[in-house]
Amino acid sequence: MTTPLVLLDLDGTLTDSAPGITAAIATTYRTLGLPVPTPETLRSFVGPPITQSFPAHGVPQDRVSEAVRAYREVFVDGMIRDNRVYDGIPEVLTRLRAAGLRLVVATSKPQIYADPICDAFGIGALVDGVFGAPVDESTSTKADVIADALAAHPDAHPLVMVGDREHDVHGAQAHGIETIGVTWGYASPGELVAAGVAEVVGTPSELTAAVLRRMVAAAA
C-alpha cells in the first residue's frame, strides 16, 4: 500500500495570520485612496488569493496589480511578527507523522512567503514539503497548488485535505479529495458545509483523531 498523504492549508489552519494580513489589507486600501472594508470583510481576505479578493471587494480591475504591490510592501515587513502557530498544531503534526502519514502544506500564499513562514515557526521541519502559489497569484488556484503537491509525491495516496475555507474544499474536490474543515480558522458561518466539506472538527485533538480514523479506514 502506498503512503497516505495529508494536505494541509496554512493560514487559518496551521497559523493565525489574520492580524498581519488584515492590517496590511487595510493599509493597502488607504494607500489606494479607497474605502477600507469592514473588519468582517478584511478577515475574508485570509486564505484566498488576494488577486481574487481585491476585485471582489471594491478594487477596480485596472488597479489590482497596484493593490497587490502595495499590500506586499506592507505584508512582508510583518509576516513573521504578526503571525503565530495555533496551540496544539505542532503536536498534531508530530503525531500524524509518527503514525506513518506523509504531510505537505498546500497554500494559496506565494511560495516565497510560505517557505520562510513555515521555517520560522518550525512547521517546515514537521512536514514533508511546502507548496505555495507563484508570485503572480492570478495564474494559480488552490487546485493548482494541490496538483503541484500531488505531482511531487507520486508514490503517496492522497488521503484528505485539511483547511478552513471554501477554496480549500473546492481545490481538493477538483482532485477527488475530501476535506476536513477546521473551525478555528476564518470561514464565515456555514461556509464549509455549503462548500461540501466531508467533516468539521473544533480542536487540534479532534483533527488528529479524524485523520487517523481515515488512515485506518483506508488501510482496511
Q: 93 near 100, Cβ under 8 Å?
A: no
Same domain, 56 and 103: no
Domain CATH for 46: 1.10.150.240
Indicate the residue among 44, 78, 112 that finishes a domain.
78
Annotated catalytic residue within 9, 11, 128, 164: 9
pLDDT of residue 79: 84
Same domain, 65 and 121: no
Same domain, 150 and 203: yes
pTM to 2 decimals? 0.88
Measured distance between the N- and C-terminal CA atoms of the chain, rounded to whole angstroms: 11
pLDDT digits (tens, 9 = 90+) for 180-190: 999 999 999 99
Same domain, 207 and 101: yes
Same domain, 30 and 113: no
pLDDT digits (tens, 9 = 90+) for 70-91: 999 888 888 888 899 999 999 9
Same domain, 55 and 110: no
Same domain, 67 and 107: no
Range of the domain at 65: 18-78
Residue ranges of the chain with pLDDT lower than 70?
A: 1, 137-139
Same domain, 69 and 112: no
Q: Exposed, middle or buried: residue 120 (CB in 10 Å: 0-12, 13-18, 19+)?
A: middle
Same domain, 94 and 39: no
Q: Return the C-alpha cell found at 141.
A: 488556484
Same domain, 10 and 42: no
Strands (E), 59-111: 102-110
DSSP state of 128: S
Domain CATH for 120: 3.40.50.1000
Indicate the residue among 78, 100, 127 that finishes a domain.
78
* 9 catalytically annotated: yes
Taking Cα atoms as reference points, which of 134, 135, 167 lies closest to residue 9?
Answer: 167
> Domains in the chain: how many in total?
2
pLDDT of residue 137: 61
Same domain, 160 and 175: yes
Same domain, 88 and 168: yes
